[in-house]
Structure 1
Amino acid sequence: MAIITISRGTYSGGRAVAEALGSKLKYPCISKEIILDAAEEFGVPESKLTAAMEEPPKAWIETPAKKIAHLNYVRYALLKRAKANDLVYHGYAGHLLLGNISHVICVRVIADMEYRIKVAIEDKKLTRKEAINFIKKLDKQGLNWTRFLYGVDWNDPALYDIVINLDRISVESAVDIIAQMACMDEFKPDENSIRALDNQVLSSLVWAALTKDKRTNSSNLQVVSDNGKVTISGNTSSKKTLMAIDEVTRGVKGVTEVINEAGIGTDWQW
């Protein structure tokens, strides 16, 4: 079992690498499919989920709770796919959405600006100036998004297991390198990494349930799972809501114990 995430800037060649890698390994290659999964499972319009993954921080500040809810729906959809199958995922910061799971291979694909400009001109039928502006705009948007949500610079090589420069090697060679990594002992799932994935799936599902329920969706909560035991912390508006948090959490499949450490405070959401 291998989960491979490929981070890439606009027109850097990451999509080509992901698709070729999926074909070579016979793994599903997914990207925006998780938006469709989340929209179907949680009944949220695709446009709102896409906006949560693409809009700049200013939009998040205006409606933070709703944006975070939509982000977590998408995160759950990705985690669910990762739990069920080997996969190659590209786009929407998969290396950050999947968190600290040791059998996830985090790849960053880069290319110089000239390469990216050429591809953008061919794909979008842009002038050179338009292509440059388009690439810079999307790069800035992605950089600001990850910095705002996760406090990291997505260009930081420390976030990845490997950074591949397509100016130096071909797509085919990049695919061979990543495929070899997928066979390494360091990236094989073990008891601890599978448990970490299971815990993240359950945490995300509980969070989604709390967000969907009208009695609890205004609460500012954090959810941590450990082998079926779920700990809820944060703040909510009333004792009635605290009781509802317990009820909703216990109703999620896989939850065996609930520790509700949430308090009544003034920083609930919406």
Structure 2
Amino acid sequence: MAGSDTPPAQPPRRPLVAILTGAGISTDSGIPDYRGPNGLWRRDPEAEKLVTYDTYMADPEIRRRSWRMRQDSPAFRAEPNAAHEAVVRLERSGTPVRVITQNVDGLHQRAGLPERKVLELHGTVRAVTCTRCHARSSMREALDRVAAGEPDPPCLVCGGILKSATVMFGERLDPEVLATALGVAKAAEVFLAVGSTLQVQPAASLAGVAAEHGARLIIVNAEPTPYDALAAEVIREPIGSALPRLLAGLTEGG
């Protein structure tokens, strides 16, 4: 038979899946959350001062305590868990995926998700920045200096105060990162909020924005959130088992 005018079948278009992740996705990696029943802020309310910008800048003792806390942080020993790996599998299946994370641990990237597909709303604990000249360097280098006897290591470029490259209380989010996250939320056809209390703004509002723009909102969190009423589905099961199952279903659904 001569050539056909019928074009070859195109594979079905896969929906854009946006995943907002909070501290709850990393608890299985040994990193405690902040506001849960056993969260850091509930166990030690004073710890919040260590990550409050004005207090950190004004009080050398707070800075010294902060550096000691960083030395002992489980974030540097943590490995990605089953939930992080499930997100990578979804991305490698060909599904368009963007992760918007409130976490600073870098575990999504460690699991194999490309850097360009991860928006770190609250920065990263794996780098430090100077509060005066904004020079950036590795956290490991700064912690090595602390271990060598510098309890509050100054910037090696200008002598200014160093801080973790995270967004402290009292600091604003990077407007460019936030704007990109907002665009992702508006464009998403499926929006998952995973391990987040959805109480910290403006990150939490992304769930509402996604729902308002027609996304199917799915919330996976142990505790109720202010956005549960907008969700098509709310899952209270442990994230380490619930998320891999949920994302495998999205892959199969194509």
Q: TM-score range by the shorter chain?
A: under 0.3
More helix by share: 1
